A and B are shown apart, each in its own frame.
Chain A
Amino acid sequence: MTLHPLIEPGWVNAILPELVLCVGGLLLMLLGAFGARLRGITAPLALIVFIVTAWSEKLVLAGTFFGGTYEISGITRIFDITFLLSAILATLFAREYLEREGIEGGEFYALLMWATVGMMMMAKGLDLLIVILGLELLSICIFVLVGYHRRIPVSNEASLKYFLMGAFATGFILYGTALFYGATRSTNFTEMARAFSTADPNNVLLSIAFVLLMSGLGFKLAAAPFHGWAPDVYQGAPSPIAGWLSVAPKAATLIALVRLLSAMLPMLQFSLWMKMIAALSVLSMVIGNAAAIAQRDLKRMLAYSGIAHVGYMLIALLSLRDDSVAAIAVYTITYALMNIGAFGVVSTLAKNQNDPQTLDDIAGLGFRSPFSGLALTVCMFSLSGLPPTAGFIAKFYIFKTAVDSGHLAIAIVGILTSIVSVYYYLRVVYYLYMKEPAEGYAIVPAGGIFATGALAITMIGIFVIGLFPTPLFAMAGAAARALLP
């Protein structure tokens, strides 16, 4: 159906997942408004919508749409699945969490769906403006989701901080985009690539543009030194959202960054820009891992660990080859499983959400609730990168691409900081099994069937990827080869 001369046929299939999510979100939003009786089915309905979206990915055709601003390809499909996986896990954990806290409502899932739409736009956009559009859609949903638990002050505080910092960062992104437009006369990646192949790498304007854009995106990634918001926001946000927030927006930002950098590929070796990414990476790894050691609040510790993990992922950006992009894809999928799993266990702890969820809360949890203890242990082992978990595979892949492309020094930094990180991850396991809880203070996880199912999914996923990584490698590698010329 040709709606308009400028819109290519087949556009419906191209944005089918987004359409399903949008409509689903509207549906759930209305459901949330139309009465308390329907509250029970919002979560299952949300799950159905996500699963239908995942299935609709099959009907999506590869190609460029909407006048060269939207591209579907293998790599976008992989990232879409990552986004949907994160959203599904968040939904599963959120179900009992929201019910327990008394804030159940359809709007939650609607916002999650629209945020996923925003992320899909960031992954598929071939134009800086589309990417920014997706970014803003994502951000607005995050503002509300983080502050969803409006009865507790920390949640409101987290939302406000994210909003203020987000607005600040968006300013930088837009200014950077404007300068890029000024330098290349276009915001479309393909046209920018053409301009870049003949541009002067020492152009001050371009460098400043890149730094500004990178800073704004660095905020989204929670990369140091743009990470200030992360510990407070993760601590205040409802735990399922904190888990989702630590994974999905970062993944979206990374794929957008990959696209941007691959457009600038001809200039990269002559400029200092890669050094900036290297600096971001090193700072994130060092600050993230060092600060995490001092944390006793679980959510803050996971926030800092997230900063460190972004550092590892940025290593792969230093040399844009097909195996490094594939490594990032693999890392985000495994990271989704392990981090949302960890936050998920925290979300099942029944205590006042305004108080910090500390290590003392999980003291002895391994014996009070063996399943939760096991799930958290598996996630911690995976996060620290011990075989045969998925975390080891992901880190191995990243460091291998780094060494293969000659960035030995930064790989060594990564490995050293990774070793440091083992301490605070295994400290959690130590508290789970070898610490006695304080008198009369034993917190029991109040997770129901949804949370248990989600934890089972994460554990199985971690081991399957850890023991049989080759199919995932192959798929990611093929998709990455299609992306880079």
Chain B
Amino acid sequence: MLNHLWLIPALPLLGFLLNGLFGKRLGNGFVSLVGPLSSFLSAVAGTVAVLQYHHQYPNGDRHVDVVYNWISSGGVGADLAFQLDPLSIVMLLVVTWVGFLIHLYSVGYMAHEEGYWRYFSYLNLFLAEMLVLVLGSSYLVMFVGWEGVGLCSYLLIGFYYDKDFAVAAGKKAFVVNRIGDFGFLVAMFLMFAYFGTVDFAKVSQIASGGVEPGLVTAICLLLFLGATGKSAQIPLYVWLPDAMAGPTPVSALIHAATMVTAGVYMIARPNALYRLAPDALMVVAIIGALTAIFAATIGIRQNDIKKVLAYSTVSQLGFMFIGVGVGAFTAGIFHLITHAFFKACLFLGSGSVIHAMSGEQDIRRMGGLWKKIPITAWTFLIATIAIAGFPPLSGFFSKDEILASALANPYFPDLGVWIWAIGTVAALFTAFYMFRLFFLTFGGSFRGTQEQEHHLHESPWTMTVPLVVLAAGSILGGALTVNHFLEHWLELPTFEVSPARAWLAMIASTIVAILGTWFAYALFGRRGLAADERFERRAPAVARTLENKYYVDEFYDEALVTPLERFSRFLWRGIDALIDGILALGGYVVAAVGDLLRFLQTGNVRNYALMFFVGVIVFIWIFA
């Protein structure tokens, strides 16, 4: 398998082709088999490759499998190669196994949907592209996967294509992502121009060898721009909440567990470059911290179950960026793993709730579901405890490691304290809004309609089994810190955190988790929506601002979109017409020359011989 790494993305790609070409004709049974099976086989293939890797490379070296070499002549080459090293293994295992669980879940969730075959073909394609992204050995291959997952995200968000809102959300996702991609592309061009290569290892090697620091900082910032697009950080996060218009498993897979983590991978992979550019790291950490707290505040006032989780995702991604931004790459990746588990569990759980509520997503109309859908409720609770950061669940370990590293980071110690503080406050909010969500959904009494109450039922096994597995992962994920296992495995650069700071961070995190939960319980545990309504009455302006996401979307619309539209119209009417005219003129000239040349072809051999002779005479005169 190690020499056939291409199989891992190829299997879901095959699933995409089969489902896409034959799914409609062969029916749901076929699709239900091919979709999850291809992702399962891919996961198995990945695991086999990992085991082989472990056997062959005990030192954690990089294994490259060149698949295809298109043109190779004198330095200019285009290679398609995959690699396996500790970091990509972590990503690979997360993507494939969580991906498989979500494929399985989708069988139950999407069973009654029109376009079932389309859904699975897109989902398979997404998995294939994501695998290309994490397995690629160069920025170029990664970019192919990067664009591919962006495309699939667009397709899946706009899956319910008859709903205008969904279609618009899909477009928004794609366009905003594109802005980030611009950063990625320019970074690649710089790499190519100054380093002559875009291979991961070679770029890091050349950069470490000593290049202009400004260049490295520029590349790192541009790569981070791409990361903000994909991982929904300030200022390109606006697409993620809207993306909830897509089916819930899509939100789970793409917008919680895999695609959005591509941005974090984007910082962790070129860590050699980032360590050479502390300024870039600082920017990453600051943006991460700001995003974390910003999104958390919005999450407090959201009433759609998926929107809360969406802002929670943005916030948690902010934590991951804090992690990699302070140079604690392992911590960031650790949180990526744990987040994948509990966030996917939360999203799938919300899907289960929505399924039980016959499609209702507003938590103001839920409540009292604890007894009605126990498995969902228990798994949701476990995942909520994990995300809130209660020891000894996984969320505590990963979040705490990030915050401790922020406090103790060697790159910018003073700023680190501020970042730690902001992060801790954000963690407080996290616990708060997550438990608010939990209590409003499952606690208290039922606030919905008679008909909804009548239909309340637990979900089928295809949906609950993944929930249970993911919840288990959320509990056990902390095991990765035992004996610094993950640290040794990843072998990413780390730094020492003094015991004093470590304890401080740990205690603060635990206190904050308890506080947040207690506040939530106090306000929402028994009294349902009353606390929300009181807040609205007491501080209407603040309430409305938070509810409307600080009016950021509106601001973007006014400041960027409208002027852009006006400029575009100007270009269309004015400049475009001009350029079209010039080009048409060029074409006309060439055609006219051709028409003139026609007259030289008289059909008369004597004329041809004359042309020949004249040509010879002219050439002799000029060249002899």
Complex: A in contact with B (CB within 8 Å)? yes
Q: Which residues of A contact B555 (CB under 8 A)?
A: none
Interface residues as binary, B253-284 with A (CB distance below 8 Å gives 1, 0 otherwise) = 00000000000000000000000000000000
Q: A161-B608, A404-B74 are in contact. Are A212 and B601 (CB under 8 A)?
A: no
A211–B619 touching, CB < 8 Å:
yes
Interface residues as binary, A378-403 with B (CB distance below 8 Å gives 1, 0 otherwise) = 00000000000000010011001000
Q: Does A68 contact B (CB under 8 A)?
A: no
Q: Does B161 contact A (CB under 8 A)?
A: no
Q: A168-B612, A228-B611, A291-B597 are in contact. Are A470 and B69 (CB under 8 A)?
A: yes
Q: Does B582 contact A (CB under 8 A)?
A: no
Main secondary structure, interface of A, reads: helix
C-alpha gap A212/B623 in the complex (Å): 11
Please give me the residue from chain B that is nearest to A204 by CB atom.
B624
Q: Does A377 contact B (CB under 8 A)?
A: no
B591–A228 touching, CB < 8 Å:
no
Please give me the residue from chain A that is nearest to B589 by CB atom.
A290
C-alpha gap A352/B611 in the complex (Å): 32
Shortest Cβ distance from residue B106 to the other chain A in the assembled complex, whole angstroms:
35
Q: Does A279 contact B (CB under 8 A)?
A: yes
C-alpha gap A293/B596 in the complex (Å): 11
Shortest Cβ distance from residue B420 to the other chain A in the assembled complex, whole angstroms:
52
Q: Which residues of A contact B609 (CB under 8 A)?
A: 164-165, 168, 228
A165–B594 touching, CB < 8 Å:
no
A231–B601 touching, CB < 8 Å:
yes
Q: Does B615 contact A (CB under 8 A)?
A: yes
Q: Which residues of B contact A467 (CB under 8 A)?
A: 70
Interface size class of A (residues with CB under 8 A): 35 or more
A469–B593 touching, CB < 8 Å:
no
* Choice from B73, B593, B608, B623 contacting A228 with Cβ under 8 Å: B608
B620–A211 touching, CB < 8 Å:
yes
Q: Which residues of B contact A165 (CB under 8 A)?
A: 605, 608-609, 612
* Partner-contacting stretch, out of A7-15, A34-42, A96-104, A268-276: A268-276
Interface residues as binary, A267-308 with B (CB distance below 8 Å gives 1, 0 otherwise) = 000001101100100000001001111100000000000000
A215–B624 touching, CB < 8 Å:
no
Q: Does A420 contact B (CB under 8 A)?
A: yes
B616–A215 touching, CB < 8 Å:
yes
A291–B607 touching, CB < 8 Å:
no
C-alpha gap A423/B591 in the complex (Å): 11
Shortest Cβ distance from residue A104 to the other chain B in the assembled complex, whole angstroms:
30
Q: Which residues of B contact A210 (CB under 8 A)?
A: 624
Q: Does B72 contact A (CB under 8 A)?
A: yes
Interface residues as binary, A143-172 with B (CB distance below 8 Å gives 1, 0 otherwise) = 000000000000000001100110011001
B608–A207 touching, CB < 8 Å:
no
Q: Does A433 contact B (CB under 8 A)?
A: no
Number of B positions contacting A (CB below 8 A): 32
The residues in B between 20 and 79 inclusive whose CB is less than 8 angstroms from any CB of A are 69-74, 76
The residues in A between 188 and 214 inclusive whose CB is less than 8 angstroms from any CB of B are 204, 207-208, 210-212, 214
C-alpha gap A275/B595 in the complex (Å): 28
Interface residues as binary, A398-432 with B (CB distance below 8 Å gives 1, 0 otherwise) = 00100010000000000000001001000000000
A-B contact count (CB 8 A): 100
A294–B70 touching, CB < 8 Å:
no
B594–A292 touching, CB < 8 Å:
yes
Q: A215-B615, A272-B622 are in contact. Are A290 and B597 (CB under 8 A)?
A: yes
Shortest Cβ distance from residue A423 to the other chain B in the assembled complex, whole angstroms:
8
* Choice from B73, B74, B619 contacting A279 with Cβ under 8 Å: B619
C-alpha gap A469/B595 in the complex (Å): 38
Shortest Cβ distance from residue A300 to the other chain B in the assembled complex, whole angstroms:
9
Interface residues as binary, A454-482 with B (CB distance below 8 Å gives 1, 0 otherwise) = 00000000000001011001000000000
Q: Which residues of A contact B608 (CB under 8 A)?
A: 161, 165, 228-229
C-alpha gap A120/B114 in the complex (Å): 66
Q: Which residues of A contact B70 (CB under 8 A)?
A: 467, 469
B594–A276 touching, CB < 8 Å:
no
B616–A293 touching, CB < 8 Å:
no
A211–B595 touching, CB < 8 Å:
no
B73–A400 touching, CB < 8 Å:
yes
* Choice from A208, A214, A215, A396 contacting B71 with Cβ under 8 Å: A396
Please give me the residue from chain B that is nearest to A274 by CB atom.
B623
B612–A293 touching, CB < 8 Å:
no
Q: Does A225 contact B (CB under 8 A)?
A: yes
Q: Which residues of A contact B600 (CB under 8 A)?
A: 228
Q: Does A109 contact B (CB under 8 A)?
A: no
Interface residues as binary, B577-605 with A (CB distance below 8 Å gives 1, 0 otherwise) = 00000000001001101110110110101
Q: Which residues of A contact B603 (CB under 8 A)?
A: 232
A290–B620 touching, CB < 8 Å:
no
* Choice from A168, A232, A273 contacting B623 with Cβ under 8 Å: A273
Q: Does B571 contact A (CB under 8 A)?
A: no
Q: A211-B616, A229-B608 are in contact. Are A276 and B623 (CB under 8 A)?
A: yes
C-alpha gap A473/B614 in the complex (Å): 39
C-alpha gap A272/B593 in the complex (Å): 28
B594–A215 touching, CB < 8 Å:
no
C-alpha gap A469/B74 in the complex (Å): 14
Q: A165-B609, A215-B615, A225-B611 are in contact. Are A207 and B597 (CB under 8 A)?
A: no
* Choice from A215, A229, A294 contacting B591 with Cβ under 8 Å: A294
Q: Which residues of B contact A294 (CB under 8 A)?
A: 591, 594-595, 597-598
A291–B623 touching, CB < 8 Å:
no
A272–B612 touching, CB < 8 Å:
no
C-alpha gap A228/B606 in the complex (Å): 10
Shortest Cβ distance from residue B609 to the other chain A in the assembled complex, whole angstroms:
5
C-alpha gap A63/B615 in the complex (Å): 39
Q: Which residues of B contact A400 (CB under 8 A)?
A: 73-74, 76
Q: Which of B72, B73, B620 has the most CB of A within 10 A?
A: B73
Q: Which residues of B contact A423 (CB under 8 A)?
A: 587
Q: Which residues of B contact A208 (CB under 8 A)?
A: 620, 624
* Choice from A204, A225, A287, A323 contacting B612 with Cβ under 8 Å: A225
Q: Does A331 contact B (CB under 8 A)?
A: no
B619–A276 touching, CB < 8 Å:
yes
* Choice from A172, A291, A393 contacting B598 with Cβ under 8 Å: A291
Q: Does A180 contact B (CB under 8 A)?
A: no
Q: Does A50 contact B (CB under 8 A)?
A: no
Shortest Cβ distance from residue B583 to the other chain A in the assembled complex, whole angstroms:
12
Please give me the residue from chain B that is nearest to A477 by CB atom.
B73
A228–B594 touching, CB < 8 Å:
no
C-alpha gap A182/B601 in the complex (Å): 36
Please give me the residue from chain B that is nearest to A291 by CB atom.
B597
B619–A215 touching, CB < 8 Å:
yes
Q: Which residues of A contact B598 (CB under 8 A)?
A: 291, 294
C-alpha gap A84/B450 in the complex (Å): 84
Shortest Cβ distance from residue A175 to the other chain B in the assembled complex, whole angstroms:
10
Q: Which residues of B contact A226 (CB under 8 A)?
A: 611-612, 615
Shortest Cβ distance from residue A387 to the other chain B in the assembled complex, whole angstroms:
9
C-alpha gap A40/B597 in the complex (Å): 44
Q: A164-B609, A293-B591 are in contact. Are A225 and B73 (CB under 8 A)?
A: no
Shortest Cβ distance from residue A468 to the other chain B in the assembled complex, whole angstroms:
8
B619–A420 touching, CB < 8 Å:
no
C-alpha gap A435/B113 in the complex (Å): 40
A290–B594 touching, CB < 8 Å:
yes
The residues in A between 20 and 79 inclusive whose CB is less than 8 angstroms from any CB of B are none
Q: Does A219 contact B (CB under 8 A)?
A: yes
B591–A172 touching, CB < 8 Å:
no
C-alpha gap A165/B605 in the complex (Å): 7
Please give me the residue from chain B that is nearest to A207 by CB atom.
B624
23 inter-chain pairs at a CB distance below 8 angstroms, sorted by A residue, are: A165-B609, A169-B612, A207-B623, A207-B624, A208-B624, A211-B616, A211-B623, A211-B624, A212-B616, A215-B616, A272-B624, A275-B623, A279-B622, A290-B594, A291-B597, A291-B601, A294-B595, A323-B73, A404-B74, A420-B590, A467-B70, A470-B71, A470-B72
Q: List 11 extra interface pairs beyond A208-B620, A215-B615, A294-B595, CB under 8 A.
A: A161-B605, A165-B612, A207-B624, A228-B611, A229-B608, A272-B622, A273-B623, A275-B623, A290-B594, A323-B73, A423-B587
- Pairs A-B, 6 closest by C-beta atoms: A228-B608, A207-B624, A225-B615, A294-B594, A293-B594, A291-B597
